[in-house]
Amino acid sequence: MRILASDGMDKSAIAQLEAKGFEVVKQFYEVEDLKQKVKEFDCLVVRSATKVRVPVIDSAVEGGRLKLIIRAGVGIDNIDYEYAESKGIKVTNTPKSSSASVAELALALMFSAARFVNIAGHTMREGKWEKSAYNGIELRGKTLGIVGFGRIGQMLGNMAVALGMKVLAYDLVKVPELENENVKYVSMDEIFANSDFISLHTPGAKGSAAIVNAETIAKMKDGVIIINTSRGNTVDEAALIAALDSGKVFAAGVDVYAEEPCKNTALLSHPKVACTPHIGASTAEAQKRIGEELVEIITNFFK
Ligand code: NAD
């Protein structure tokens, strides 16, 4: 069985798969080349960079060999999965492995946005000493609104409570056992009205409306901090920039963008934005866990 890991794979996962007799090729191909190469593999493993759209799937079907596509991560929006499955190719992902890493990055962005860590470091590298420009706020004692209280949202909630924050959660599905004196389910409007920090953790499905837009920002507290590590389409970037400029939003922390790689220089160069290039799952631990999950999925599938 031949596996193409087009966006890389953890070394120990490769070693385990090879020990079980699989051949793993670690190589990124641009679309035109991928269309040809995909015909030579039984399994395709991608992270975010490789897009598996209809033409690639059609080529794979023509080749008659590809049976399994795995997104080594949470969302599968870079794969036309419904089309692939309609052609008999199974599509799956590794939903649990990166939750802790993404939750920790969301917390890092909360600190960075509240204390201007990114921009202060950036200006120091330019030889500046802007000590009085970065007057921040503390997290302790504040209210964090979490939209999408699933794996990542809950982990972030736990860390926030440990820091002395109150958590307001909004989710389509309520799990009453998760509520306690520091964590309460509320409506989306109550999140907007009462949160000092708002962090987004919904799936951001294709075509879904932005949760943070001009209308919802107007409902938020003055000086709110907005964090997005979910998907770029959950935030209207133009509305966010306008609200940062007006001072309605104090600062923002952003890991995911409407277009990636992001070319929105107004957002990336905004002094009140702490940005990272979609690195939520980029930790040694997450990649190791993803590798273990991949080995399990692949060996079970081809048993
Ligand atoms: P999850 O499925 O465990 O949780 C998502 C939660 O959102 C669920 O509880 C679901 O009921 C809820 N939900 C869905 N639609 C909603 C809506 N419209 N309003 C309110 N709640 C809604 O998923 P997760 O593992 O916690 O991942 C959350 C997000 O994090 C996803 O968007 C995923 O793509 C993103 N993510 C980002 C990175 C990164 O590198 N930045 C890495 C992994 C995951």
- How much distance in Å is there from the Cα of 99 to the middle of ligand 1? 10
Residue 75 has what pLDDT? 85
Rounded CA-CA distance 109/248 in Å is: 19
Ligand 1 close to Cβ of residue 112 (< 6 A)? no
- Active-site residue, from 231, 270, 289, 293: 231
The amino acid at 143: T
Ligand 1 close to Cβ of residue 109 (< 6 A)? no
Look at residues 263, 256, 252 and name the one whose alpha carbon lies nearest to residue 229: 256
Residues 6 or more apart in contact with residue 242 via CB below 8 angstroms: 214
Look at residues 138, 193, 139, 147 and name the one whose alpha carbon lies nearest to residue 166: 139
Dump pLDDT digits (tens) for 222-279: 999 999 999 999 999 999 999 999 999 999 999 999 999 999 999 999 999 999 999 9
Confidence of residue 29 (pLDDT cuts 50, 70, 90): very high
Dump pLDDT digits (tens) for 82-108: 999 999 999 999 998 999 999 999 999
pLDDT at 160 over 90: yes
Ligand 1 close to Cβ of residue 104 (< 6 A)? no
- How much distance in Å is there from the Cα of 253 to the middle of ligand 1? 17
Annotation says 260 is catalytic? yes
Q: Which of 78, 154, 172 to mutate to test the pocket of ligand 1 (most atoms within 8 A of CB)?
A: 172
Confidence of residue 204 (pLDDT cuts 50, 70, 90): confident
Ligand 1 close to Cβ of residue 52 (< 6 A)? no
Look at residues 101, 118, 100 and name the one whose alpha carbon lies nearest to residue 109: 118
Annotation says 278 is catalytic? yes
Rounded CA-CA distance 19/140 in Å is: 49
- How much distance in Å is there from the Cα of 296 to the middle of ligand 1? 23
DSSP-H helix ranges across the chain: 11-19, 31-37, 54-63, 81-86, 99-115, 117-125, 151-162, 188-194, 214-218, 237-246, 265-268, 284-301
Ligand 1 close to Cβ of residue 145 (< 6 A)? no
Residue 206 has what pLDDT? 76
Length reported for the chain: 303
Look at residues 204, 240, 243, 202 and name the one whose alpha carbon lies nearest to residue 222: 243
The residue nearest atom 20 of ligand 1, judged by CA position, is 171
- How much distance in Å is there from the Cα of 76 to the middle of ligand 1? 12
Q: Which of 154, 177, 200, 202 to mutate to test the pocket of ligand 1 (most atoms within 8 A of CB)?
A: 202
Confidence of residue 208 (pLDDT cuts 50, 70, 90): confident
Look at residues 218, 209, 72, 207 and name the one whose alpha carbon lies nearest to residue 147: 209
- How much distance in Å is there from the Cα of 169 to the middle of ligand 1? 13
